[in-house]
Amino acid sequence: MVVSRDKTPTAQETFMQMAQAAGLRGRLLVTIGLLILARFGVFLPVPGIDRERFSADIQNSPVIGFLDIFSGGGLSALGIFALGILPYINASIILQLLTAAIPALENLQKNEGEAGRRKISQITRYVALGWGVAQSIGIALWVQRYATTPGSLFIAETALALTAGSIFVMWLSELITERGIGNGASLLIFVNIVAILPRTLGQTIELAQTGGRETVGKVVILLLVFLIMIVGIVFVQEGTRRIPIITARRQVGRRLYRERTNYLPLRLNQGGVMPIIFASAVLILPASLAQFTGNSAQNGFFAPVNQTLVQISTYLSPNGPTPWLYVLVYLVLIVFFSYFYASLIINPVDMAQNLKKMGASIPGIRPGRTTSEYVERVLNRLTFLGAIFLGLVAVVPTAVESATGVTTFRGLGATSLLILVGVAIDTAKQIQTYVISQRYEGMVKQ
C-alpha cells in the first residue's frame, strides 16, 4: 500500500495498521482487555446489603444519577468498583489547584522535568488513596441502614472493599496509559458512559413503540438536537485561535538560523468538560447534603439544616418551581469555572517570558508585559465564547427534554456528550500518531 508521509492517515490505512502492526495491535488488545476487566468489577457486589431496599431508595436520587455517569452504574449497583476512577480524578483536580497555589509543587512541574512529574504522580496516588478511604467510609456509613448485620465490622469491610476497588481501577488506568492507547482515566469514564447507552436507547425505543405518532416525533426531535450538539462539540473542541509568532534571526556558531514564522495555538475551550462537572457538582451539593442528613434530621438536631437544604435543592432543580433560576445559576457557574480553569492551564505572564527567552514575538506587539496583556485579552475573549457554548450544551438538551417530555436520555446529558466526543477525538489522534510512526518506520526500512 502506497502512502504519502505528508497526508493524514486514511481510515483504510488506520485499520490496516491496527490489524497488521504488532505493536499497535498489542496496545489495542491490552486496552480492550483492561477495560473489560474494569467493567467486570462493577458487577461484583459488596456483600451484606439488602439490594431491594437500597435500589428502591436511590431510584430517583439526582446525586446517585450524576455519580453513576462516571461509575457506569457501579454506585447504584454498589459493586466493589463503585467508586471507580472518581478518587483519582478528584485527586488530579486537587493537585492541579494546589500546583497553582504552592510554589514547591509548581517548581516540580515546571523545572524538575520528568523526575518532577513522577513525584507529582506519586503524590496524586497518595491523595487518591486518602480520598478513596474518606469516600469509602462515607458510603459505608450511608449504606449501613441497608446492611443485614450492621455494625463496625460491616463498615470496616465495606470501606476496605471499596478502597481496594478504587485503587485497583487507578492501577488499571495507569496500565492503559502506559501500555495501551489513550488516557486510561478518560477511557474508563468513556466506557462507563457507553455502558448506560443500551439501557437508555432501549427505554427510548420502548417509549416510541408504546406512544403514538406525537411521541415518535418528540423522540426524533430530541435525537436531532443531540446530533447537532455532537457536531457543535466536535467543532468547538477542535477550534483554536492561531496567534502568529516570529522567531528572530540568530547565529549559533557558524550556523545562521533564518527568521521563521510560526503560530501560538489557543484553544476555544481550554477547560474541556471540567467547568460543567464543577458547576453540576455545586448544583447537586445541596441535594446530596440533604440526602445524607436526612436520617439525622429525624433526631431534631439537623432538622432546620435539612429543611433549608431541601428548599435550596428544590429551587436549584430543572424541574422545580423556578427553572429559570436553575438555568441562570448554572450558566453563571459554568462561566466562572471556565475562567477559573483557563487561568490554571495558561499563564499569560509565563507565556510572554518563554517567548522572550526563545527570541520570538507577536507581530506588532512588544515583548514582555505588552505581550502578556495581549495574550490575556485574547484568552479572555476565547474563554467567554467557550463558556457560552458550554452553557448552551448544558442547557439546551435539558430544555428540549422538558419541552418534549422525553426523559429517557436524562442520564446522557451535556457532561456525557462532552466526555464521549472529547475522549473519542483524543484516542483517534493517538491511534493516528502510531500509524504515522509505523509509516515512517516502514520508509526507513525501505
> What CATH number corresponds to the domain at position 14?
1.10.3370.10
Confidence (pLDDT) at 1: 37
The DSSP output letter for 301 is S
Tell me if 419 is assigned to some domain: no
Tell me if 402 is assigned to some domain: no
Tally helices (H) and strands (E) across the chain.
19, 5
Confidence (pLDDT) at 66: 65
Tell me if 130 is assigned to some domain: yes
Tens-digit pLDDT profile for residues 84-105? 888 888 788 788 778 777 888 7
Rounded CA-CA distance 50/38 in Å is 24
φ/ψ region of 93 (left if φ > 0, alpha if ψ in -120 to 50, else beta) reads: alpha
Tell me if 27 is assigned to some domain: yes
Tell me if 112 is assigned to some domain: yes
Residue by residue, DSSP assigns 321-380 as S-HHHHHHHHHHHHHHHHHHHHHHH--HHHHHHHHHHTTEE-TTS-TTHHHHHHHHHHHH
> Which of helix, strand or coil describes residue 280?
helix
Tell me if 127 is assigned to some domain: yes
In this structure, what C-alpha cell is assigned to residue 157?
469491610
Rounded CA-CA distance 65/136 in Å is 18
Tell me if 232 is assigned to some domain: no
Check: CB of residue 19 under 8 Å from CB of residue 25: yes
In this structure, what C-alpha cell is assigned to residue 223?
435525537
What pTM did the predictor assign? 0.76
Rounded CA-CA distance 215/207 in Å is 8
Which structural domain range is residue 29 located in? 1-195
Tell me if 245 is assigned to some domain: no
Phi, psi of 61 (to 5 degrees): -80, 120
Confidence (pLDDT) at 85: 83
Tens-digit pLDDT profile for residues 54-79? 777 777 666 676 667 666 667 777 88
Which residues, in sequence order, are CB contacts of 361 under 8 Å at separation 6+? 245, 246, 248, 355, 367, 371
Walk along the chain (446 residues) in steps of 10 and give the mean pLDDT of each run: 51 66 79 88 82 76 67 74 83 79 78 79 90 86 82 88 91 89 84 80 78 78 82 80 76 59 80 75 72 55 69 72 78 85 80 80 83 88 87 77 69 70 81 73 52
Confidence (pLDDT) at 87: 86
Number of domains in the chain: 1
Confidence (pLDDT) at 300: 57
